[in-house]
Amino acid sequence: MAAAPSGDGASTARSPGLRAEAQAFLDPRHGAVPAPVRSVLFGLERFHQHGISLAQAQPVERRRGRRRTGAPRFFPRLKDNLRTLKRMRSYLELLDRVGDALSPAAEWLLDNFHLIEAQLPEI
């Protein structure tokens, strides 16, 4: 299995088994590839607590037509997130085709990406 990408270009040099197409996804010009999430998963109670803390940390502004400077607009960020998800899906498909082992989360994304795309019109 290939070394975890660090985003510094060194990971592709240590991954001679990856095809050129897969290595292109690790190109440092695309930014750093975040490490996989392998920490403790939230249980129902922890999700509840986290939701409360997020809600308390996000002030609601009642004014319309004015936007705080520096605050990202929703749709450009959504489009950027979707582009990233599509790139990752393509990357995971390449890894799967060459026989690399995928994490359960990666397998879930490949199996369920159609559900994400189906929700876009609702968003």
Residue that the structure tokens 């050129």 belong to: 20
Q: Which two tokens stand for residue 39?
A: 């920490």
Phi/psi at 12 (nearest 5 deg)? -70, -35
The CA distance from 116 to 118, in Å, is 5
Q: How many residues does the chain have?
A: 123
Among residues 24, 37, 35, 29, the alpha carbon closest in space to that of 91 is found at 24
pLDDT < 70 regions, the chain: 1-18, 34-40, 63-72
* Boundaries of every domain in the chain: 1-27+72-123
The per-residue pLDDT for 9 is: 44
For 84-113, write each residue's pLDDT tens digit: 999 999 999 999 999 888 999 999 999 999
Residue 9: alpha-carbon gap to chain centroid: 19
8 Å CB contact between 25 and 91: yes
Which amino acid, residue 81?
Answer: N
Pair 120, 82: CB distance under 8 Å? yes
Both structure tokens of 34? 């975040």
